Structure 1
Amino acid sequence: MSRKVVTSELSQHTSPASKPPSLSTLISPHDFPPAALLSLPQKAIAFISSAATDCLTHSANSSLYNQLTLRPRILVNVSHPTPLETTILACPVSSPIFVSPTSLGRIIHPDGEKAIALACSKLDVAQTISTSASFTLSEILSGQKTTHPAFLQLYVDKNRDNSERIVREAVRNGVKAVMVTVDAPVPGKREADERIPAAGGEMLAPMAGTAVPVSDGKGAALGRVMGGYIDSSFSWDDLDWVKGLLPNNVKLVLKGVQTAADAVRAMETGVVDGIVVSNHGGRSLDTATGTILVLLELQRCCPGVFESMEVLIDGGVRRGTDVFKALCLGARGVGIGRGVLWALGGYGREGVERYVEILNDELVTTMKMCGVTSLKELHPGLVNTRAVDHLVPDKVGEEHPYAKRRKSRL
């Protein structure tokens, strides 16, 4: 179905091309994007769906899960309810599924991150709120008297005073962890988003202090043009500064770890409480390793990190079976980003609730089918990874297994 390109105010929805299906008829996570397409403007669609350059990492994130097969155990009594309650970063939650940070929620739905927060509060699942959210933390959390655990995803600003202000606001609003994004020192090139113009001038990221951009002659991707405030000089040496901004009960997490070497280095800092294995949903560096392979790399090369820090993962999770596989392979929590935005765009808060509930139901079904009655019983032996094991590095370090470094000829 062809759709008219919309370039008016991004916070306004276009008139639906047709009446969306009843939310009760959506039974699969895959049902939500087609439903959202009926009402979202083209810019919003491009913002959700776009990924870096050829979208290979975006595709690999999900397709790699399909190459892992399950090894169910039989004749286990699974007739009793299967609890999903656990903790993520020391916060009690009803499910190991959490909401990953997503920016500019108001271009998807007028209530944006506020609607996501209400859904998370009702379900008692954790929400990660981006520095580039469409509302302030006070508006998202305190103004609505939400009760769910919330984390701040922090893009470090070139003006460190701005980052300190955001962190202080986060602490005032009861945020339990600060997840510093480390996989996007510069914005990635998301060509689908670049191609569609944006109306300029409206403030859609009040914490970051940025407005909707107009084209700069290179395209009009929201993330790239608005991300000019991000400090590309931020490095390991700055982690003590971030940690110093946090009270003892607020965790410091690195979001975007993609190698065993960096996981080990994070562990050795002594100031990092957890990591998120993530590649920005394939939106930063194309052909970067799919996240489930990175999780396997940690298991093979540095299993000690799972004992020393909390390991979370996001990227490519589409089904409850994906959540199950990640948990079996050592993840404490599994984040969902794009799926939540599709659900938000089509149905607002109720859509987000139903989307997460479907994933929870699929996770429970998978557990029972595999002869598991609690999260504590999950283990790597329930997953066959041999189809991808040859892709997993076998030691920590940057050296290629056989190609040798040469002296520069420059």
Structure 2
Amino acid sequence: MGVENPEKATRPISVDEISRHTSSEDLWLVVDGIVYDLTQFLPEHPGGPTILLQYAGRDATAAYSEVHSPSLIQTSLPASSRIGVLDKTTITEEWAKPPPQARGSPRKTVEKPPLDTLINARDFEIAAKASFTPKAWAFVSSAATDCLTKERNGSTYNDIILRPRVLKDVRNVDVGTAILGHHIKAPIFCAPTSMGRIFHPEGERELGRGCQRLGIPQCVSTSCSYSLPEVMDAVEGEARETNSELGAVPVFFQLYVDRNRGKSEKLLQMVRERGVKAIFVTIDAPVIGKREADERVKSDENLRAPMSGAQAKNDKKGGALGRLMGNFIDASLTWDDVAWVRKHAPGLPIVLKGIQTAADAVKAMEIDVNAIYLTNHGGRSLDTSPATVLVLLELQKCCPQIFDKMEVYIDGGITRGTDIFKALCLGARAVGIGRGFLFSLNYGKEGIEHFINILVDELVTTMQMCGITSLDQVHPGLLHTGAVDHLVPGSEEHPYAKWRPKSRSSRL
């Protein structure tokens, strides 16, 4: 956006002058060293006028950065609002302090354990629980209603037994693979997650940097706390810094389809222009699940997702970020709409994210999507839906042909290299991890790198112990699934269906 008066916009303004504009009729504040006149914007602020008035005449950068991406204020305000730059030579210690009445959850001051003392994925979770704000922890740890699916996602892996083969030459192991034609260094990707800024100031930008370092994909969410161009800028900057080839490590985009289809169409156009390599369409959340731990902690009403435009607003139901920020999602999405996505993302592979039955996997194969993603939203959508590894077993049992027709990805409850190995043996091409990346984001890109290296080391050890050296050697015979086989349906039809009266059955 251009500036109407360049000389005015670059004028140095002293702290003393800024401090004289503190009323609703005359309101100035500072963000990232730029002085804004927000008098006209005050009544329109989506988070209400209170927070702006609390920072009137002061530097609001810290409060702004907690919930907004840097570009938002520059692109959403008229150029005339920018009136100058802060004269840093006039800053006083008293002026620099946040106002005593400023609201919002303070960051915990608990000292995190040193990164090099964390030796497994659980250590990252423990450190996050101790140091995240109450709202950040409630958001990341919550799941639907009684959290049974969340728990079973992980515990079901424990019931699948490894069958090691011995006396193999396993000195050299390769964990590289390919997703949608792109080589990646390990069969892991960063699953799409929302509102990363509440965990780290750089949020999804830092996730992108960490993935770029590791040579694994990041899938950026529609509910990302940064715009996609800002994430891509960070990824490309990391590639240049590490002397990597731009675009060599793929970035994918997760689409929540907006009720206003025009918004999604514009978003898809922008996604294509910025070099995203595939569209992951979320289909398991036509509405947002009831996440009670998140509802119990109020949201900061300044939180905004720049790509969806969603704004946090607490109400009588509570303050769950997922529900508050997901009201734009189109609940009328059907199989026929996959053609609409293809039309507005020509040339990009389509992945359906949220498959939970063999019947829907077959349907996806029939409409010729490039891949399916077995997920239940980390147990955050519908409680008592099946653990995702059980869905993988269902595909092996009911429709094994799909593994030859398209790629299959899976997430949910994966915290060990043995979990990754089991998923790969059952036909998954790669595994997505969501919460684990957010826990490791607690330590920035170095934490992300350490977290994934731990999982890769565990995967390599598991492969060696089971007698294989590359991922093209995995197969179901390396597992014993007898403890969970009885939980896997044999067909789409429920076994009790034949006992129902026809009149009732016809309605079901």
> Same fold per TM (> 0.5)?
yes
Cα distance in 2, alignment partners of residues 89 and 30 from structure 1: 31
Is 2:156 aligned against 1:64? yes
Residue pairs, 1:330-369, within 5 angstroms: 330-344=427-441, 346-369=442-465
Tell me what 1:3 maps to.
none
Cα deviation, residue 13, structure 1:
7.8
Cα deviation, residue 214, structure 1:
2.8
Cα deviation, residue 168, structure 1:
1.1
Change (3 A) 1:37 1:367: same
Secondary structure of residue in 1 paired with 2:138: helix
CA contact (8 A) 1:52 1:286 kept: yes
Residue pairs, 1:184-195, within 5 angstroms: 184-195=285-296
Cα deviation, residue 125, structure 1:
0.2
Secondary structure of residue in 1 paired with 2:144: coil
Is 2:121 aligned against 1:33? no
Task: Using CA pairs under 8 Å that are at least 6 residues apart, name the structure with larger relative contact order, 1 or 2.
Answer: 1
Q: Tell me the alpha carbon deviations over residues 283-308 of structure 1, each in whole angstroms, 9 at most, x when there is no partner.
A: 00000000000000000000011111
CA contact (8 A) 2:210 2:445 kept: yes
Identity %: 52
Residue pairs, 1:91-130, within 5 angstroms: 91-130=182-221
Q: What amino acid is the match of 1:263?
A: A
Q: Which has the larger radius of gyration?
A: 2
Is 2:329 aligned against 1:230? yes
Secondary structure of residue in 2 paired with 1:179: strand
Cα deviation, residue 237, structure 1:
1.1
Secondary structure of residue in 1 paired with 2:143: coil
Q: What amino acid is the match of 2:132?
A: L
CA contact (8 A) 2:105 2:135 kept: no
Say what the alpha-carbon RMSD is for the aligned residues.
1.8
Q: What amino acid is the match of 1:206?
A: P
Tell me what 1:206 maps to.
306
Tell me what 2:383 maps to.
286
Tell me what 2:146 maps to.
54
CA contact (8 A) 1:13 1:40 kept: no
Q: Tell me the alpha carbon deviations over residues 154-211 of structure 1, each in whole angstroms, 9 at most, x when there is no partner.
A: 00000001111111111111111101000000000000000001121332x1001112
Q: What amino acid is the match of 1:128?
A: C
Cα deviation, residue 215, structure 1:
1.6
Please point out which of 477, 487, 493 is paired with 1:391: 487
Is 2:264 aligned against 1:172? no
Deviates more, 1:225-234 or 1:135-144: 135-144
TM-score computed with the length of structure 2 as normaliser: 0.76
Tell me what 2:357 maps to.
259
Q: What amino acid is the match of 1:207?
A: M
Cα deviation, residue 269, structure 1:
1.1
Cα deviation, residue 393, structure 1:
1.0
Residue pairs, 1:72-83, within 5 angstroms: 72-80=164-172, 82-83=173-174
Tell me what 1:138 maps to.
229
Change (3 A) 1:96 1:56: same
Tell me what 2:500 maps to.
405
Is 2:429 aligned against 1:324? no
Aligned length: 397
Cα distance in 2, alignment partners of residues 403 and 116 from structure 1: 50
- In structure 2, stretches of 5+ residues that fail to align are 1-50, 52-61, 68-103, 240-246
Q: What amino acid is the match of 2:120?
A: S
Secondary structure of residue in 1 paired with 2:131: coil
CA contact (8 A) 1:43 1:197 kept: yes
Change (3 A) 1:143 1:122: closer
Cα deviation, residue 143, structure 1:
4.8
Tell me what 1:4 maps to.
none
Secondary structure of residue in 2 paired with 1:185: coil
CA contact (8 A) 1:58 1:282 kept: yes
Q: What amino acid is the match of 2:284?
A: D
Q: Tell me the alpha carbon deviations over residues 340-397 of structure 1, each in whole angstroms, 9 at most, x when there is no partner.
A: 11111x21211111111111110001000111111111110001101001111112x2
Cα distance in 1, alignment partners of residues 234 and 436 from structure 2: 25
